[in-house]
Amino acid sequence: MAPAIAKPLLSDLVAQSGQVPSSHIRPVGDRPDLDNVDHESGAGIPLIDLEQLDGPDRHKVVEAIGSACETDGFFMVKNHGIPKEVVEGMLIVAREFFHMPESERLKCYSDDPKKAIRLSTSFNVRTEKVSNWRDFLRLHCFPLESFIDQWPSNPPSFRSALNENVYLSINTRTLKKSRREVVGTYSTEARKLALRLLEAISESLGLEKGHMVSAMGRQAQHMAVNYYPPCPQPELTYGLPGHKDPNAITLLLQDGVSGLQVQRNGRWVAVNPVPDALVINIGDQVQALSNDRYKSVLHRVIVNSESERISVPTFYCPSPDAVIAPANALVDDDHSLAYRPFTYQAYYDAFWNMGLESASCLDRFRPNKQVD
């Protein structure tokens, strides 16, 4: 008889065993090969200043965004408009959440990917053969009022304000804001930024500013709060193996610990955290809407033996019933139609069932392919 899984969450399993359990060891040949990673100086991906996005030099910023989407699929942004205290508050609450006792955290546990609010581990424990070195809390957050009451009620700061003293230690000017809920404010601010970026991306393709956003229907927004505990043997496992994001655009907030790597010309490049900057990447839906002009790029997370790492990706998505198809203006004699129309729901189901693999889920929606 297989031994019962003692601890559903990785953080508690590690605390108990102190080594990489066999459930998390990748087969030889599918390991991170940590010596074979490019560590570039600077961020490793383009760093774009959004200061002028709504000013006279907008076209320059739009062009920089377009060129990053074409070549890297990834870039960082600074002066992005989300107040520093909101960003820092979000990271504090995230850490508080994962540092709560196991019994408290387990109240939110579920391995059903269809649940709108859940704490889980790895990626999809129902389908995968080897687990990943990650626990995560997944939250739907738009429209906020439909979901916020289901969010965790502990730590208390999750749905309400941070303790005033904590806020005071971040920035005295934020005292007035301390009455507002931290995670809700972060997700509202992240949505505003996602919409600004989607407008700039549409413009950079020569489309109407609102093209991508209106193609996404009522839209949806999910947040993951990722917790990667320190790992005694980082060479044996992944925080997340190579994957492409299925949504339209992802805004990643990370603490100061490295771990994200992106693929460029077949090599892995480390993305070094830059203070006050967010990492942005194009997901599969923007690739489809752009008729393959912009690329959704493979990325992965590696872990380390010294410190825990926290990251908070915001996944901005079409609504499930939105029909996604390449923009007409981007289909011509030189650029044939790359995808047949599909609903985001069909895409998302295919993504979760396929698991994280490097073969892109988009290929199943090429004009000559049938989805099974």
* Binder of ligand OGA out of 132, 185, 311, 314 (CB under 6 A): 311
- Pair of tokens at residue 133: 């070195």
Q: Which stretch binds Ni ion (CB under 5 A): 23-31, 109-117, 171-179, 245-253?
A: 245-253
When asked if residue 240 is in the footprint of ligand OGA (CB under 6 A), the reply is yes
Q: Is 297 among the residues that bind ligand OGA (CB under 6 A)?
A: no
Pick between residue 264 and residue 299 the one whose CB is nearest to ligand OGA: 299
| Between 42 and 367, CB nearer to ligand OGA | 42
Three-class DSSP category at 287? helix
Helix 182-204 and helix 58-71: axis angle, to 10°?
90
The listed partner (Ni ion, ligand OGA, none) that binds 302, CB under 5 to 8 Å by sort, is none
- Closest separation in Å from C-beta 283 to Ni ion: 8
Q: How far is the CB of 194 from ligand OGA (least distance, A)?
A: 15
Phi–psi pair at 327, nearest 5 degrees: -65, 130
Query: Per CB under 6 A, which of residues 258..277 are in contact with ligand OGA?
Result: 259-260
User: If we measure between CA atoms, which residue out of 219, 215, 180, 241 comes closest to residue 315?
Assistant: 219
Site string for ligand OGA, 196-225 (x = CB under 6 A): ----------------------------x-
- For position 245 contacting Ni ion by CB under 5 A, the verdict is yes
**E strands, 295-371, in order:** 299-301, 309-317, 323-324, 342-343
Q: How far is the CB of 254 from Ni ion (least distance, A)?
A: 12
Selected binder of ligand OGA within 226, 263, 287, 314 (CB under 6 A) = 226
Tokens at 264, concatenated: 């460029």
Please pick, from the candidates 278, 301, 322, 327, the single residue that binds ligand OGA as defined by CB under 6 A: 301
Kindly report the three-state secondary structure assignment for every residue of 249-269.
EEEEEECCCCCEEEEECCEEE
Per-residue CA distances from 193 to 40, 90, 140, 278, 324 (Å): 27, 16, 17, 11, 22
3-state class (DSSP) for residue 312: strand
Contact residues for Ni ion, defined by CB under 5 A: 245
